Each structure stands twice: as structure tokens, then as C-alpha cells.
Amino acid sequence: MTGKQPGRAARHVPQRTCIVCRRQFDKRRLTRVVRTPPTSPSDRGGVLVDPTGKRSGRGAYLCDQAACWDKVIRHPGILNQALNAQVSEAELAAIAADPRRPAAVEVELDN
């Protein structure tokens, strides 16, 4: 047992809302997807996973449920709306392949 005392004020953990399920979670349970601003004429910016949560740009949060990631990848309009952007197929593929994506729930499909 560590020295945590009951009754001591819990440290406030920032809450963010998942753009898919609309539930609030501790920020650390969410993955930030950010639309980065263009940095040069040849770099128009883009939509990408922001593991640091510190990149500038408009952000959207996905919770740690595989179903939410699956849904946003199948329905990128959710992300487009949250970021006010048009997510490209390449960007979506990169999000789908991100290591922070929760593992899909294994369903036994034995046919």
C-alpha cells in the first residue's frame, strides 16, 4: 500500500469528450487527432495523430475503445466535422495504422 490517504483532494484530471461516443474520459485515456496548420506553401498541413497532445491546431479526441476508432475510420465524416477539415484517405490510413489505436475486440468468426 502506498501513502494515498482517503479524503485527500483528488488531483483534477482534465476531461475530454470522445468525438464518436460523446462520453467524457480522462484526457490520458484519449488520443488526440490534430489538424495541423500549413507550415509552408508546399506543406498544407494535415490531419494526424498527436501522441504528445501539444501540437498546435484544431484537435479532436478519440477514446480508448476500439469501436470508436473503427467507427471513425469507417465514417470519416465524424472526423471531418470535428476538425472542420477533409481528411484524406492517406491520412485516414495513417490514423488506422497508428500504434495508439486500441486493439480490436477479437470476435470468433469461425466459418
* Site residues, Zn ion (CB under 5 A): 18, 20-21, 63, 65, 68
CA–CA distance, 100 with 102 (Å, rounded to integer): 6
**Which amino acid is located at 1 in the chain?**
M
**In angstroms, what is the minimal distance from the CB of 18 to Zn ion?**
3
**Nearer to Zn ion (CB atom), residue 63 or residue 83:** 63
Cα distance from N-terminal residue to C-terminal residue, the chain: 48
**Nearer to Zn ion (CB atom), residue 21 or residue 73:** 21
Please list the residues that pair with 32 across neighbouring strands: 50, 61
**Nearer to Zn ion (CB atom), residue 66 or residue 92:** 66
